[in-house]
Structure 1
Amino acid sequence: MAAKDRYESLDELGKVTVVLLCIEITLQALYFLATLARTGEMADIIAGRAARPVDVTPFELLQGIIGLALAAIAISLFFVIGRWIFRAAWNIRHLGAKRLEFSPGWAVGWYFVPFANLVYPFRAMKEIWLASHDPARWREGSVGLLTAWWTLWLAGNIIGNIALRLSINAETMESILLAERIGLVSTALSIPCSVLFLRIVRRVGAAQDRQANAPAPPAPPEPESETLVA
């Protein structure tokens, strides 16, 4: 990722990120409802209250269509959010933050390192958050919003991975239903996770612009010259 050697506002990039996140949140809600309806159908079939369908059911088809749309949005967000994190990490250096632990590249790169991606992406985001709000004293500050986002991110991904593995190995309708129900939990966690990240994007962008536009501190007064008496 190339970067300009100066501060560059996150405003435009942030707007694109927010729009994509809003679309994702809407699709996640629709996917949750479609999956909920499908699990209801499957439960009725298993209980004998409905006949086993020969073809794909409407809710199953709807779930598949929304899933494809979600996948397309996820791919777009993959690149846009990666760019946003890189630029946010680059900007804090131009706002005056010193002794930073994570380079802009590694602020993104840690997401792709197994096991380390459970901890280091959060630490990099914490650094971005704190330095965006107070570059001079960036080690101090509250990160409650980030902690809530990262908790939901981890929980949603872990549960989603369990649901995916169960779905791949499912051989009976009962096991498919179990995988779908666990997937519902993952989707339910993903919605507030996306909402929180949307707030993070807005607040980091606003904080960085405030710091960039703040007046420079006044220069210290020059020491008075001593008058030499002959």
Structure 2
Amino acid sequence: MQDMGVISEHREYEYSVNPSFLTKFLKVMLFISIGTTVLLLISNFMQFELVSSGTITKSSADANDTRQHFLSILRLAIFIVTSITFLMWIYRANKNAQGFSSKTLEFTPGWAVGYFFIPVVSLYLPYRAMREIWRVSSAPDHWRTQPGSALLQWWWAVWLASNFSGFAAARFSMHIKSLADIQHATIASILSNCINILAYILALSVVVAISTKQRKLVDEGSGNSFDADGLATNN
């Protein structure tokens, strides 16, 4: 009698929605976000040095304000585009995970995105949705027994820290009445930007890790190999 315990079933996995272009675009936007935040961080240091010098002329103050406003608006625009792209990527990653697994997932694609916008639960449920995507992408048929990821934990912790630090920096900038207040606000902005840079780097790492896991499933099932952007090349 054949031992049923040694029987393994080969499954072929396919993308429900091919994420290749979106993943590539998201990675580009994350790199741009990192670069823009670094520029704003440098600008903040320049502002702190100007305020600390004790000698501020009208021309230097105007130049500083123009530079800061331009970089702030630029970063905001890039942040909006990157955030929308990231949420679209989460939706597609979850949808693909739904197709990979033969078992029902706890989070639907819509709620994997929607929980980001609901107060209180947004502090934890989006992380759980991402953890589920990670587990399914690692082992679609046995994902419930898969361990979590330290990378995901760090990404989520730093993401929360970036939100809180950004809120604190905004509060400092709204109560400026003296040069000392400008210094304090600038320091808060510097710390916030440092955390933001780390958050972007970790987000990029998460995107690369999950997309690589899902691409590997499709690759092994189809017999194709994939390039760095997830585009199939027939063997």
Q: Counterpart in 2 of 1:113? A: 118
Matches within 5 A, 1:130-141: 130-139=135-144, 140-141=146-147
CA distance in 1, matches of 2:102, 2:197: 33
CA distance in 1, matches of 2:102, 2:180: 55
CA distance in 2, matches of 1:14, 1:106: 20
Q: 1:179 to 1:51 in 2, by over 3 A?
A: closer
CA distance in 2, matches of 1:93, 1:119: 21
Q: Counterpart in 1 of 2:219? A: 213
TM-score by length of 2: 0.82
Matches within 5 A, 1:1-230: 7-45=16-54, 50-51=55-56, 53=58, 56-139=61-144, 140-215=146-221
CA distance in 1, matches of 2:102, 2:212: 17
Indicate the percent of aligned positions where both proteins have the same amino acid: 29
CA distance in 1, matches of 2:66, 2:112: 38
How many residue pairs get aligned? The number is 208
Where 2:23 maps in the other structure, the secondary structure is: helix
- Structure 1's consecutive aligned runs of 4 or more residues displaced over 4 angstroms after TM superposition are none
Query: 5+ unaligned residues in a row in structure 2: which ranges?
Result: 1-14, 223-235
CA distance in 2, matches of 1:17, 1:77: 7
CA RMSD of the aligned region, Å?
Answer: 1.9
CA distance in 1, matches of 2:69, 2:107: 39
Contact 1:35 1:59 in 2 (8 A): no
Query: How far did 1:141 drift?
Result: 2.2
Q: Counterpart in 2 of 1:221? A: none
Query: 5+ unaligned residues in a row in structure 1: which ranges?
Result: 1-5, 217-230
Where 2:65 maps in the other structure, the secondary structure is: helix
